[in-house]
Amino acid sequence: MMYYLELIELLVGFATILYFLGLFAGTVGFLGGILFNEPPFEVSNFSYNFHVWPSFIVFGIIVTKTYTSYFKKPLIYKKCKWLGVAAFIAWSYTWISSATSYYLRTLPSNQQHTPPVYLLPIELFWLQILIPFLIGGLLGYFILRSASKLIKN
User: Taken in order 122, 38, 14, 50, is the CA torsion positive or negative?
Assistant: negative
- Give the pLDDT of residue 13: 66
For residue 121, say if its preceding peptide bond is cis, omega within 30 degrees of 0: no
Tally the domains of the chain. 1
The CA distances from residue 145 to 68, 131, 137, in Å, are: 27, 21, 12
Note down pLDDT in tens along the chain; length 153 residues. Answer: 556 556 666 666 666 676 777 777 777 778 888 898 877 788 888 878 888 888 888 888 888 887 887 788 777 777 777 877 788 888 888 888 888 888 887 877 777 777 777 778 888 889 988 988 888 788 778 877 877 777 777
Main-chain dihedrals φ then ψ at residue 110, nearest 5 degrees: -145, 45
- In angstroms, the Cα distances linking 142 to 7, 11, 42, 71, 131 are 12, 13, 42, 28, 17
Q: CB count, 10 Å around CB of 62?
A: 21
Cα distance between residue 135 and residue 1, in whole Å: 23
**Residue range of the domain that includes 29:** 2-152
49, 88 Cβ separation under 8 angstroms = no
Q: What is the pLDDT of residue 3?
A: 60
The pTM (predicted TM-score) of the whole model is 0.68
